[in-house]
Structures are given as structure tokens and as C-alpha cells.
Amino acid sequence: MIGQWRWGWPVQGGEHSTVRNPWLAIGSAVEPASQARLIARASERVQEGNPPPRVLRPVVLESWERSAQAGVFAEREELPPRLTAEELEERRARHPLAAAMPLIRSLLVDVAEDARHIVAVCDVTGHLLWVEGSRATQRAALGIGFVPGSDWSEGTTGTNAPGTALEADHPIQVFAGEHYSATHASWMCAAAPIHDPEHGGLLGAVDLTGSFDTAHPSTLALANATARAVEAHLAALSAWKDAAALEAARGHLGAGASVTVVSPGGRLLGEDLGRRRVPPPTEPGRLRIGRAVVEAEQLAAVPGYWLLHPHSRRRAAPRAAASAADGAALRTGAASAGTAHGVHTGTLRLRLLGTPADAVVSAGRPLTVTPRQLEICALLALHPDGLGSGELRELLYGDQEVADVTIRSELSRLRRTLGAALAARPYRFATPVATDVEHVEQLLHGGDVRAAVQAYTGPVLPASESPRIADLRDQLHYELRAALLAGEDPDALFQWIRAPHGASDAAVARRLTTLIGARDPRRATAVAVVEADLFARR
């Protein structure tokens, strides 16, 4: 497609698109096949040594130049490099966008089948972590290696929407022959970058991909709107962690104490010391912020957050050190007084809704567990009589071929954390367990729908792919929506569509419009949700 040609020539007149947005490849009135032919002819003229025609957008030409400088060969036929299955699973498990996948699925994936599109989510390196949507299009995409784990960064694969969106840090649509690689000329893709609300840095991108004949300007709008919704969702999760950190800090210092907390990204919460952001501490001890000298102490209850207090309050250090030591003992399974395996018996609390920082709490102290261990805890809570390793394997992995020894190894590591709270033969909890899922169900079945909606902080383990947990996630979500739609509480309905997990729920928004007046300030939000749904279905 692109040969060795000189960059920097002036763009000439002639055939060109009428699209004004330089990041958009095709207008709604343009026939895709005709536009594809124009781009193909323009590319041929460039390879013959002619200046680029106007149909070749500057953002595309700049991407071609970066691709050439990166050493990408336009005519190569080999597929992009891929992560191993283990590497892919690890990246998925620890990536912040895992928490947003239910939202992305509700906004894009659910309608992608009818649109013959696939939805891809990549990390900041350009590796595709999730690829879902139209099965027929997924099968076709195998031919170009557009599959989970593959590297679609611009520097590896050349001009393409997810890779170029990351490189340019801007939403972009790439159409047909605008792709740098000749093997991608029959495709269209539109992607938008997603930023971390904590520090503003790139997390990855969300992409809509299909054959070039499915191209429409709305795909770029949908990708961009989804990226913004994901950022809002992550911001809400960050706000939840902020509140949890402040609550933990106040509990640590005592009622009425003035607290200052530093977030993982360096945001100051509470008393701002005259600033809003500081370099986050890297170790406990003395820290200077402007003219103030403070002591930094890790908040064990909310990993990544730091508690600051005046340097003169050195008497608080022993208490802080003891707290940190206790937390370390719990995390490593070191023996604690009164137990044989490092964990006090007592009620074990599981937070399974959304992505809380302290998902497992024992005797008032948070325990550090992996996502897989949290899934096991959830399944054991659902089956109080216990489960064998084979049953756990089936509930966790479904039809996937996974050896029992894998489950037993994970259970062994989990027992080092939970100690006597986890019994074996069958595997079960030997201590009372309370979950936030159970709390929501109790409120719902008791008829307090508004309180249930308020307590529902997000879908059950949104990143989990366990069949049993997915069933629970869908069931609880459905029961809440059904209760909302059957009721007449506008406050509960409005609270639902204001939450990330209900932000695209047009049915609930429509129900709200039937219960509030024309001048009610909540109507604007409800109408916006309904209109966004109509736009997405065009």
C-alpha cells in the first residue's frame, strides 16, 4: 500500500472527501465503496512519487510517516505478535478497564452483532485485551490477527484506529486503504483513548471494527461516547475509594481529628495544605510539602493511599507501625494471637459489588486476595455446605479444560491468607460470612427498592468470567431493574441512571419520564439517556 516515498510534500487538489472533521474518515452521504476506491487510487499516486491528494487526511499521512519510521513494512503478511494465554489473563486481571467491561458491553457489544461489528479494548501498549461482538466478523478478523492478545500498536502494526488513537491521544476513524498495512484495506475501525481519572494518563482505547462497507460517522461518535462513559465510571470508583480512605483515616486517628490523605496519583484529600496534588510518597516517614513537614503512613485499609499528619505528632508513629505490621501479618498469613493460621475467627465480610479496595475483611481488617481468590470466596459464600475442587473448577471455568491441581494450588494460597476461616473436605467457610450481595437482596426482598439501589455499588465482580458468578451478576441486576420498573419511586429511578451501571438504561430513563413533570430538573438527564439509546440503534 505505502512504498518508500518522501514525506512533507504539499497536499494537492483533486479528489477529496467533504468531511470537515479531520479525525473522521467518511461522511454519512458518502458511499463506502466509492470512498475506498478514491483512497486506493490516491495511495497508488503516492507510491508513484506524486504529492498526496486531499482525500488522504493529514492525520493519516502523519501516522503513515510514524509507521515508516518505526520500520513497519506495509506489504508484510505475517500476523501481529501475540501475548501468551497466561500473559493475557494476567493483564486482564490487573487492568483497570476490567472493571468497566460490563459498561462497555452494555453500550457497544450488545448491539455490535446486528451492526456486524466487533468491539475491542486494548491497553496502553496497544495489546488487545478483549475482542467481542459479531461472531462472523470475529472469524473474519482472524485473518488479520485482530484477536485478544495481539499487538495493534501503531509502531508494530502501522496505522490502525486503536493504535493510532493511542499514539495521537485522540479519537480517530481509519477507513479501508488508510490502514498502513495492505492486508487491512478491507476494514474500517474507529477508536477513542481512555484516560485514568486519577492522573490523566492513558489506560488504553476502545474500538469498533468491521468491514469497510459498514463504515459510518456514528461509529466514531459511539466509540468516543463510550470512552467518556468509561472515564466517568472510573472516576466514580475513584471517588468511592477516596471516601473509603478518608473514613479509614478518621477511624485510625480518632473522631474529630483533622485528616489529610494522598491518593495513589498524588491528589490531596481532606486538608489540602494549600495544594491539590503532590508527588505521592514512596515509603513511610518524613515528607516535605511546600513549607510543611509531615509524616507519611500507609493506609492498610485502602491500598495505595497514604495518611499524612504533622511531623510533631510522632507519638502516632508506634500506632501506625503496629497497624502496618498487623496488616502485613494478615496478608502473609503470619500467626496472630489466638489463632493457628494467622486470621482471627469471626464474621468474614465480602464486598463483591463493583471494585472495592477492601473486598475481604476479617475481624475489621482488610485482607489482600487475588481476583481469582475473590471469585473462590464468592462461590464458597454462595454454597455454605461446601464445594469440592472439581465443583469449584466447573463453577469457575465452565467448559474450559483446567486441572484440579490448579484449583487446589489457589485454595492452598487462599488458606494461607484466611487461615482457620477456610476449612477443607469439602472446601467451605468455617466462620460466618456476610456479603454486600446478600445485603442488597435483603433490602430488595423487603421492599426497600431505593435503599437496595443505593447499596448496589456495581455489578457482582464485574471482571469475573466465572459462569456461576456471571449468572449471579445477571440475576441481581435483572431483579433490581425489574423492581425499579415496577415501582413508582422517581428518586430510585434517577439514582439508577446516575450510576455508571445504569447510565445507558433507556428503559429505566423512560419510566422516570412518566413519573416526573416537564420542569423537573431530572428530566434532562433521563431524556439524554433515551436519546443516546436511540442514536446508538440507528
The kind and range of the H/E element at 2 are: none
- Looking at every residue in the chain, the average pLDDT score rounds to 82
Please, which residues bridge with residue 361 across strands?
Answer: 349, 366
pLDDT digits (tens, 9 = 90+) for 301-316: 788 889 987 755 434 3
pLDDT surpasses 80 at 90: yes
Give the pLDDT band of residue 387 (cuts 50, 70, 90).
Answer: very high
In this prediction, residue 257 carries a pLDDT of 67
Q: Are 148 and 131 in contact (CB under 8 A)?
A: yes
455 pLDDT band, cuts 50/70/90, is very high
Name residue 428's beta-bridge partners.
Answer: 423
Least trusted range by pLDDT, from 61-65, 163-167, 318-322, 403-407: 318-322
CA 377 to centroid of chain Cα atoms: 22
According to the CATH classification, is domain 32-235 in 3.30.450.40?
yes
Specify the pLDDT at position 203: 97
Chain segment 463-487, per-residue pLDDT in tens:
888 889 988 998 899 889 888 888 8
Domains in the chain: boundaries: 32-235, 258-332, 348-431, 446-536
Q: List % helix, strand, coil for the chain (3-state, nearest 5).
A: 45, 15, 35
Report the pLDDT averaged over residues 244-270. Answer: 79
Separation in Å, CA 284 to CA 277, 280, 300, 321, 372: 18, 11, 12, 9, 30
Task: Quote the pLDDT of residue 2.
Answer: 44
Highest mean predicted confidence (pLDDT) among 203-207, 359-363, 470-474, 521-525: 203-207
Query: What 3-state class would DSSP assign to 210?
Result: strand
Angle CA 58–62–65, to nearest 5:
140
Higher pLDDT, 110 or 391: 391
CA dihedral 163, 63, 28, 121 (to 10 degrees): 0
What is the share, in percent, of the chain residues with pLDDT greater than 90?
32
Report the alpha-carbon distance of residue 293 to residue 291 in Å, rounded: 7
Q: What is the pLDDT of residues 427-444, one digit of tens each?
A: 999 888 899 999 999 998
Instruction: Indicate the CATH number of 348-431 among 3.30.1010.10, 3.40.50.720, 3.30.565.10, 1.10.10.10.
Output: 1.10.10.10
238 or 7: whose pLDDT is higher?
238
pLDDT at 529: 85
**Can you give the pLDDT at residue 53?**
75
- Cβ contact 389:375 at 8 Å: no
Angle between helices 371-382 and 467-486 (to 10 degrees): 70
Reported as a single tens digit per residue, the pLDDT across 315-365 is: 433 333 333 333 332 233 333 333 333 333 457 889 999 887 678 887 777
Q: What is the pLDDT of residue 410?
A: 86
Query: Grid coordinates representing 395?
Result: 463453577
**Mean pLDDT computed over 163-188:** 93
pLDDT digits (tens, 9 = 90+) for 8-22: 333 333 444 455 688
Q: What is the mean pLDDT of residues 231-259?
A: 79
Tell how strand 348-350 and strand 433-435 pair up.
Answer: parallel
Q: Quickly list H helices, 359-501.
A: 371-382, 389-397, 404-418, 436-445, 449-455, 467-486, 490-498
Buried b (16+ CB within 10 A) or exposed e, 277-297: ebebbeebeebebeeeebbbb
Is the pLDDT at 50 greater than 90? The verdict is no
